[in-house]
């Protein structure tokens, strides 16, 4: 199994989209609007993604997602 496959299965489609948009430099407010969620829900999505990726920061979550090939 590809190392990113397990993380891809555990992350929701919203979380993957959020990580891709953040990686592209899109601001949180716009990401929330694009996903149709509140900024608080976006924060919860990020917290869940960080937990699944075993990251301690948003930056680390993005780096780990990129490393696992989840951003393409």
The token duo for 44 is 């919860």
Burial of 39 (0-12, 13-18, 19+ CB in 10 A): exposed
DSSP string over 1-31: --HHHHHHHHS-HHHHHHHHHHHTT--HHHH
User: Is residue 21 pLDDT above 60, yes or no?
Assistant: yes
The verdict on pTM exceeding 0.75 is yes
pLDDT of residue 5: 62
């Amino acid at each position: 199994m590809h190392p990113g496959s397990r993380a891809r299965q555990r992350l929701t489609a919203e979380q993957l989209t959020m990580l891709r948009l953040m990686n592209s430099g899109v601001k949180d407010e716009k990401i929330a609007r694009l996903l149709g969620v509140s900024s608080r829900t976006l924060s919860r999505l990020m917290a869940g993604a960080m937990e699944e990726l075993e990251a301690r920061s948003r930056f680390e979550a993005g780096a780990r997602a990129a490393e696992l090939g989840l951003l393409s």
